[in-house]
Amino acid sequence: MVLAVPIMLFTGFLGIVSSGLGYSAHPSVAMFSMIYTTFPTALIVFVFILALVLVMSTVDTLLNALVTSFSIDLYDSNAVGAIKGNLRWVKWIGLIIIVPSAWIASKGFSVLYLFLLADLLCAGLVFPLFYGLFQPKLTERTATVASVLGIASGVPFFLGGQLLISFVTPIAVSVLAVFVGIYSPEIKHRWLQLQTFRIKG
């Protein structure tokens, strides 16, 4: 953790410098373009090995999470045989997923764009997810609807290149949807009680 902050600051600074000097048209690979152009061969090989190890560790974590989710979490069974059987076919699913993933990676899409897309999804999910941990009135249905509405509200701005608005809008929409979903039945109930009281009066 101590080394993570200065490393992130250093790599971010290199990316800004290389992008400003015009080493690459794509910001996501600007730092690597500068390294490939200016650094000696030995250092280039070292940096690219580190980048490869970083990507491999991320993919390994992702595949392990997929295997765990599909083999155990989605099955309400404690039988060892059932878990082993699920684990067998989930491994094949992991191998199948690698094929389209490798094809997409070979197309050279912007990594920065993929990260920004992930940020858009997180902006719509963050409030319903964490607020649901502390608010028992928040149901799964309300949280899901709020998340979907939040993400959908940010997509037009994201496609239009208005990134700040595309991240702020999903948060605001999901927050509003959560509170409407929680308190609208209660408000409706009290309103009906008030109308009933007026009629009786």
pLDDT at residue 72 is higher than 70? no
* CA dihedral for 174, 175, 176, 177, sign (positive or negative): positive
pLDDT higher than threshold 70 for residue 200: no
pTM exceeding the 0.85 threshold for the entire prediction: no
pLDDT at 196: 59
- Name the amino acid, one letter, at 54: L
Choose from 76-85, 143-152, 189-198 the range with maximum mean pLDDT.
Answer: 143-152
Q: What average pLDDT does this structure show over 174-200?
A: 68
- Is the pLDDT confidence value at 179 over 90? no
Give the mean pLDDT of 40-65: 79
Segment 35-57 mean pLDDT: 81
pLDDT value at residue 59? 72
pLDDT value at 41 more than 70: yes
pLDDT value at position 82?
53
d(CA 128, CA 200): 40
Tens-place pLDDT, residues 2-18:
666 777 787 777 777 77
